[in-house]
Amino acid sequence: MPKALRGVLIPLTVLLLLLLINVIKDVDFLDISNVNGALYGNIPNILFGATELVIITIGMTLVTSASGGQDISVGVVATITSAVFIQALAAFGPVSWLSVAGALVVSCAVGALLGLFNGTLVAIFRIQPMVATLILFTAGRSIAFLIDGKVSPNLKNAVTTQIGGVIPGVPIQTPIILTVVVIAVFAVLFKLTNLRLYTQTVGINEKAARLNGIDPVKVKLLVFVILGICCAVAGFISVCKNERHDSVNLLKLIEMDAILAVALGGNALIGGKFNLPGAIIGAYTIEVLNRTLLRFGISPDAIKAVKAAFIIFLMIVSSPVVMSLLDKARGKIAGRLEKSASDKYGGPKTEGA
């Protein structure tokens, strides 16, 4: 089986299995209702709930591919940039679609700078990504706390409520639409640029990339900047959903789910080739897993333990060692079947035949 297909097949199979379990528990699980012109139900809620994770996972996939490591500060970067968004929105005066767009641009610029900071430590000073991003992971929420005025500012107005919820006349929740837009933007980038090729080449072999005219430092800086912008967009969506900014709890520990989504999507955490569709499906799979555990009455305190055991099982099943063993087993079975068919229909004819 091609590796790219396998990367999509594993998380997709798990996702469908989790959905089947929910359908067995509740036959109405897949029902979708129309409430005041908007679509609601478990499936829309899953798509709605996973928006921030999907967007961050996209950037995390690129960083993992190019640097062979992970950024553990993504939740904190989203917290800082969303605090900047709140302050910029207040500075721009009356809230309107134009002022929200302006504040989002400012927060994305800050996200790019924070990504550049992390990328500089990794690409220029050659610090391991997880160690380099530990700086912001440790201090970032305190920085956000200072930016938002040591309070949890409320954000409730017609524009941001529609961004975090539903725009009148549009049946799909706005965060879902924004997620589709982000995915489409990356699809276009991969189609029109060499971003995918350069990222994978640097992740596979930096020396070979340099010999072919690709600057590994610039590529690593670029993917960290992209991840910073993804974090800013995710933070923007999160504060619009919650209608407030919380420096302590906003997207707390989302970095762990993003790393798991990358791994679940069939991407090697040591870098190299990446499978973005697999990572995106992995993000939705994790969201379904979280909701499934809650639906089965598992307490929030125990969810992390159950989830960890489930993830460990998935990682072992999808590991290169297990996949290699399965490939060998399939090869042996196919060989035996071919030999059996050859003996039965293609072997030497007996006397009198």
Question: Coil, strand or helix: which one is 246?
Answer: coil
Q: What is the DSSP letter of 40?
A: E
The structure tokens 């791994």 sit at: 263
Residue 166 has pLDDT above 70, yes or no: yes
pLDDT tens profile 331-340: 888 888 887 7
Cβ neighbours of 235 (radius 10 Å):
35
Write down the pLDDT at residue 5: 63
Instruction: Give mean pLDDT, residues 74-79.
Output: 98
Give exposure, 80-108, as e/b (b: 16+ Cβ within 10 Å): bbbbbbbbbbeebeebeeebbeebbebbb
Write down the pLDDT at residue 91: 93
Do the Cβ atoms of 291 and 300 come closer than 8 Å?
Answer: no
CA atoms within 13 A on the CB side of 27: 0
Q: What percent of the chain has pLDDT over 70?
A: 94
Alpha helix positions (H), 50-151: 51-67, 74-91, 97-123, 129-132, 134-147
Residue 156 has pLDDT above 90, yes or no: no
Alpha helix positions (H), 193-319: 195-204, 206-211, 216-242, 254-264, 276-295, 300-317
Write down the pLDDT at residue 2: 56
Sign for the pseudo-dihedral over CA of 172, 175, 178, 182 = negative
345 CB-contact burial (10 Å; exposed 0-12 / middle 13-18 / buried 19+): exposed
Instruction: Give mean pLDDT, residues 211-224.
Output: 97
More confident residue, 240 or 352: 240
Question: Coil, strand or helix: which one is 92?
Answer: coil
Residues 203, 264, 238, 29, Cα dihedral to 10°: 160
Residue 122 has pLDDT above 50, yes or no: yes
Instruction: Give mean pLDDT, residues 257-275.
Output: 90
The string of DSSP letters for 159-205 reads HHHHHHS--TT--S-HHHHHHHHHHHHHHHHHHHSSHHHHHHHHHH-
pLDDT tier at 353 (50, 70, 90 boundaries)?
very low
Average pLDDT, the chain: 90
- Token pair in block for residue 309: 């055991």
pLDDT tier at 346 (50, 70, 90 boundaries)?
low
Instruction: Give mean pLDDT, residues 240-263.
Output: 92
Q: At what angle do helices 216-242 and 174-192 cross, to 10 degrees?
A: 170
Distance, in Å, from the CA atom of 67 to the CA atom of 95, rounded to the nearest integer, reads: 40
Do the Cβ atoms of 232 and 115 come closer than 8 Å?
Answer: no
- Token pair in block for residue 245: 């900014």
Write down the pLDDT at residue 348: 53
pLDDT tier at 317 (50, 70, 90 boundaries)?
confident
Instruction: Give mean pLDDT, residues 7-30.
Output: 89
pTM of the model: 0.90
Q: Which of 31-45, 116-130, 203-217, 305-319 has the lowest mean pLDDT?
A: 305-319
pLDDT tens profile 33-42: 998 888 999 9
Distance, in Å, from the CA atom of 106 to the CA atom of 138, rounded to the nearest integer, reads: 23
Write down the pLDDT at residue 246: 92
Instruction: Give mean pLDDT, residues 28-53.
Output: 93
Distance, in Å, from the CA atom of 26 to the CA atom of 184, rounded to the nearest integer, reads: 33
